[in-house]
Amino acid sequence: MSGKINRRDFLKVVGVSAIGAAAAGTGHIRAMDGDHGTSTQEGGMDWQTMNEHHQMGIQTFLDNIGKDPIFWRPPMEYTMDGDVKVFDLVVSQIDWETEPGKVFPAFAYNGIVPGPEIRVTEGDRVRINVTNELPDQSTAVHWHGLIVPNNMDGVPFITQPPIDPGMTFTYEFTVRNFGSHMYHSHHNSAEQTTRGLLGAFVVDPLDKSREPEVDGDYTLILNDSALGFTLNGKSFPYTQPIVANLGDRIRIRYMNEGLMIHPMHLHGMPQMVIAKDGFYLPVPYMCDTLNIAPGERYDVVVDCTEPGVWAFHCHILSHAESRDGMFGMVTALVVNE
């Protein structure tokens, strides 16, 4: 998967080789004015050190490609009971690494943040057994975007009692509407959801006539606050890129489970927005930066017409880059020739 990307090509694309050449005194980046010596800037880091930190992050990202097999969550396994698809979700407290050595006390569905992706087809009957193994918090699960009976909506004291520690609550409903949806805690949710009780609930339509034919289908869950700025539970440089071949058409399903807006900017190629909150748009539209607010889902299609490694990040820059280099909500689209 990463075989076609080498360091030289990657650095060429992101421009680090030019910075390196300039540092060696052979490049064509010239000082425009004033003092460009090695004096320490505000923040206690000289520019050479800043370059090194940035370059190290990029190298770590490159070296880590393909090393997180569940970054793009595989569909969750289920069992059949008659014609009912039965899923089991266990809520527990774990230590979650958004990057090696950066460990947060987190909450998880089935031990991972985000939880496993539930993927079914419009019209399916589903049963989801939710067992709460948190030591000291009750919880509940809301099926965000799905049209369900009121008593399955997952809001404690409105539609059900909370699921106390040690208890199991069973949700069962027929999946009536397709699209890119989510599931998450709806109890103490500012804490529980941002600490990890979130996941994708993707429903394929029965009528595929408006579905784009794609070479790859990627769910990208945005989160912030309790675990920092993450994409699918990881922070750059430990996020994974989307790897495509020239000419591929890919689909990205953005889901924002955080507390902040995140305008996701893809370099190199436009994004065609085809659906909002699971509903097809009457007319798709093109953009290069797509703002995704908490609770929103957007489906986009990208035609991979431009070879190279293209930066792909939240454009609230403080969610993506610091003096120490890129961090948080940054990944890449790799288009192999």
Residues that bind Cu ion (CB under 5 A): 262, 314, 316, 319
Question: Residue 186 or residue 319: which is nearer to Cu ion going by CB?
Answer: 319
Question: Residue 269 or residue 316: which is nearer to Cu ion going by CB?
Answer: 316
User: Min. distance of Cβ 194 from Cu ion in angstroms?
Assistant: 13
Q: Vertex 216, ends 65 and 259: CA angle to 5°?
A: 75
Q: What is the CA radius of gyration of the chain?
A: 22
Question: Residue 54 or residue 262: which is nearer to Cu ion going by CB?
Answer: 262
Question: Residue 189 or residue 235: which is nearer to Cu ion going by CB?
Answer: 235
Question: Residue 144 or residue 319: which is nearer to Cu ion going by CB?
Answer: 319
Question: Residue 179 or residue 325: which is nearer to Cu ion going by CB?
Answer: 325
Q: What is the chain's percent helix, strand, coil content, to nearest 5?
A: 15, 45, 45
> How, if at all, do strands 321-322 and 271-276 pair?
unpaired
How many angstroms separate the CA atoms of 19 and 53, rounded?
12
User: Min. distance of Cβ 315 from Cu ion in angstroms?
Assistant: 7
User: Min. distance of Cβ 293 from Cu ion in angstroms?
Assistant: 11
User: Min. distance of Cβ 329 from Cu ion in angstroms?
Assistant: 5
User: Min. distance of Cβ 144 from Cu ion in angstroms?
Assistant: 19
Question: Residue 142 or residue 262: which is nearer to Cu ion going by CB?
Answer: 262
What's the distance, CA 282 to chain centroid?
26
User: Is-contact 217 223, C-beta < 8 A?
Assistant: no
User: Is-contact 239 232, C-beta < 8 A?
Assistant: yes
Does an H or E element contain 21, and which?
A: helix 16-23
The CB-based long-range contact list for 13-17 (8 Å cut-off, 24+ gap) reads 13/308, 13/309, 13/310, 14/58, 14/309, 14/311, 16/54, 16/55, 16/58
User: Min. distance of Cβ 294 from Cu ion in angstroms?
Assistant: 11
Give counts: helices (H), strands (E), the chain. Answer: 4, 22
Question: Residue 51 or residue 225: which is nearer to Cu ion going by CB?
Answer: 225
Q: If DSSP codes are grouped into helix, strand and coil, which group holds residue 23?
A: helix
- Burial, 61: exposed, middle or buried (Cβ in 10 Å; 0-12, 13-18, 19+)? buried
Question: Residue 219 or residue 235: which is nearer to Cu ion going by CB?
Answer: 235
User: Min. distance of Cβ 262 from Cu ion in angstroms?
Assistant: 3
User: Min. distance of Cβ 254 from Cu ion in angstroms?
Assistant: 11
Backbone angles phi, psi at 93, to 5 degrees: -95, 130
User: Min. distance of Cβ 232 from Cu ion in angstroms?
Assistant: 14
In degrees to the nearest 10, what's the CA dihedral of 141, 146, 152, 158? 80
